[in-house]
Every structure is written in structure tokens, then in C-alpha cells.
Amino acid sequence: MSSMLPKVVVTRRLPGISGARLAGKVTVAAPPPDAPMPPEELLRLAPGTSGILCTLADRIDRPLMDAAGPSLKVVSNYAVGVNNVDVAEATRRGIRVCNTPDVLTQATADLGFALMLAAARKFSEAETALRAGEFTGWDPWGFLGVPVYGGTLGIVGLGKIGAAVAVRAKGFGMRILYHNRRPLPADRERILSVEYRGLDELLAESDFVILCVPLTPETRGLIGRERLARMKRTAVLVNIARGEVVDEGALADALAERGIFAAGLDVYEKEPVVHPGLLAAPSAVLLPHVGSATAETRERMGRLAAENLLAVLSGTEPFSPVN
Ligand code: DGY
């Protein structure tokens, strides 16, 4: 009986994706591992598979689609970002690609805002000193940060997560600038209390710059040496998008030379490797890609990823298609 069910590969054990959710609807090719699935293993399991439920650590590219063959109908990514999937190639082959938007918007915006506060107020540096036994009493000169309340925030990529960051910034009395490929409709700008700027103007005017763009050929390397040089020396850069949006070497240099005040990073160019210059920078607050990491959010991401996969395989429209 189970051999009649479509075969799927689930590349990792994930919150919200229990065997019970998939039971009776698909056959899972192999027990999902507790660590990222090695690419060779994914290639080995791919032939004859109808669906792949994967994470941002898996590359879903042309060779993998070739290995899967024409049976492959859906790639359901357990992430909102789909830069790990060759969407154009999938579309060409009629393979549906789905992601997990909305369910992680608030958690990711919370994290972005927290990183902004933490970097502005030197949380990492201060806590590291305390843990090292260096808290010898209140110090009028210690760990002087920059004020967040009332500052100017520049949001690069005002999509769902960027808008959720703007809502938080309003509560902090901030002036909010944003940059998108195209300005939003005027009523949307009014509701969010945001003003459009060209990227270079936004960088020059903002006290805080937060990156919320998807990784695409246009946004890869968007913030390099020249753009960092446009920022105020007192400014803070926050990246909750993808590491490849920023030139990490240039950022490490900017922090070392005090070209900007601080950075708050959740994502890295070559995860899980972090640039040594960033690890060495006391003014960088560094988190291990935890934007969506609340138990509730991860559970909801899993449910949505599973429902998307099952919808396509049962011939209905998925809840959050990318193509
Ligand atoms: C995403 O969804 O793209 C995040 O980076 C992981 O939750």
C-alpha cells in the first residue's frame, strides 16, 4: 500500500513536521537526520522522488533536479528565503517551489530590533567583560553606546519583515526611511510612516540601517566598501537578511577602523563560518542565524512547509507558492 504513495525526501528532522502529519499521504525516503543532510545523500535519495522538503542549508540545483528526474513535483523550503533553490530552473521544469512566509515575520522582526538595540548599547562587549570578572563597579565611562530612541532608521527591503520592523521603530519615536526597488504606494507609506530614499541617501542619513532584502543577483554584495563609507561613523548596521548581501571583509575593516559604530549580524556569507575579522570585532554583536527561532514560529514553519508539500502532491494549490 505504502509503495503507492509518492516518495518524498525530508532533509532534516524539523519542528512541526512529524511522521503523523505525513503518514498515509507520502512515503518518506529515509528518516530525516538531526544534522543537515550531506549533499551526496540527498543526491542518492533523489531518484524517483516526488517532493523534497528542505532547509536553507540544502542546495536544490540543476544536478539535483536531474537526479530526481521527471517525478519531482515540489520543493518545499522550510524558510522564507529561497536563495538555496534554483527557482528559474524549477519553473522551467514545472516543479513548484514553496516557502514559509508570514509565520516568521514577527519573530524575525523582533530579532532584528533586538540586534539593533544590542549593537547600539554594546550588549556583547559589556556582557563579555562581566563574565570575564571585569565588572568592578558602576563606571561612568564604561560601554557608552548610541541612543536608539528618536534616531533615524533606514530599512533596506521594506517587505513583510521590513514593515514589521517599521511598526516597532514607530514605538521608539524613530524617523523611518526605506529603500526598495520601487517606492510603495503613498497610502502604504503613510500607514507605516516611512519615507522613500535612494540607497546611497538612506545610508548617509540613517543612524541605523537594517537589511531585510531577499538574496538575489541584484542584492548580492549590495553593502560593500563604498556603501559602508557612506554611512555615518556613529551608525549601526544590522543584517537579518542573508550574509551574502554584505561584503564581510569590508564590514570587518569598517568596524576595525571605526568607520561605523557597530554591527548586529544574524547571517553570514559562508555559514556556519564567520569571518575572523568579525569574530575579532568587539563592536559586532554576532548571532547564529536565529531570526525565526521561537518554538512557536518553527512549529508553524514546519506545518506550513508540510501543508505546501502535500497540497502540490494532491493536485491542489499550495498555501505559499514562490513560482
Ligand atoms: C528564512 O526563513 O529564510 C530564515 O533565514 C530562516 O528561518
Pair type for strands 208-211 and 152-156? parallel
pLDDT band at 213 (very low <50, low <70, confident <90, very high): very high
Structural contact between residues 238 and 212, judged by C-beta atoms closer than 8 angstroms: no
C-beta 64 within 6 A of ligand 1 = no
Q: Is 299 among the residues known to form the active site?
A: no
Q: Percent of the chain scored above 70 by pLDDT?
A: 99
Compute the distance from residue 79 Cα to the ligand 1 centre, in Å.
4
Average pLDDT over residues 312-321: 98
In the set 179, 242, 300, 303, the catalytic residue is: 242
Give me the pLDDT at residue 189, please: 98
Q: What are the tens digits of pLDDT across the range 9-57?
A: 999 999 999 888 899 999 999 999 999 999 999 999 999 999 999 999 9
Alpha-carbon gap, residue 53 to 301, rounded angstroms:
12
Q: What are the tens digits of pLDDT across the range 225-265?
A: 999 999 999 999 999 999 999 999 999 999 999 999 999 99
Give me the pLDDT at residue 157, please: 98
Structural contact between residues 84 and 60, judged by C-beta atoms closer than 8 angstroms: yes
In 37-82, DSSP assigns E strands to 51-54, 74-77
Ligand 1, atom 2, lies closest to the CA of 79
C-beta 80 within 6 A of ligand 1 = yes
CB neighbour burial string for 95-107, b if at least 16 within 10 angstroms, e if fewer:
bbbbbbbebbbbb
Give the CATH H-level superfamily of domain 105-286.
NAD(P)-binding Rossmann-like Domain (3.40.50.720)
Alpha-carbon gap, residue 276 to 258, rounded angstroms:
17
Structural contact between residues 246 and 269, judged by C-beta atoms closer than 8 angstroms: yes
* Nearest Cα residue to 176 out of 203, 148, 154, 191: 154
Residues of the chain with CATH 3.40.50.720: 2-103+296-313, 105-286
Average pLDDT over residues 178-200: 98
Whether the pLDDT of residue 1 is over 50: the answer is no
Q: What are the tens digits of pLDDT across the range 100-117?
A: 999 999 999 999 999 999
Give me the pLDDT at residue 19, please: 82
The SS3 assignment for 180 reads coil
164, burial (CB in 10 Å: exposed 0-12, middle 13-18, buried 19+): buried
**Averaged pLDDT of the chain:** 97
Q: Tell me how crowded residue 168 is: count the other CB atoms within 10 A of its CB.
A: 17
Give the CATH H-level superfamily of domain 2-103+296-313.
NAD(P)-binding Rossmann-like Domain (3.40.50.720)
pLDDT band at 3 (very low <50, low <70, confident <90, very high): low
Give me the pLDDT at residue 18, please: 82
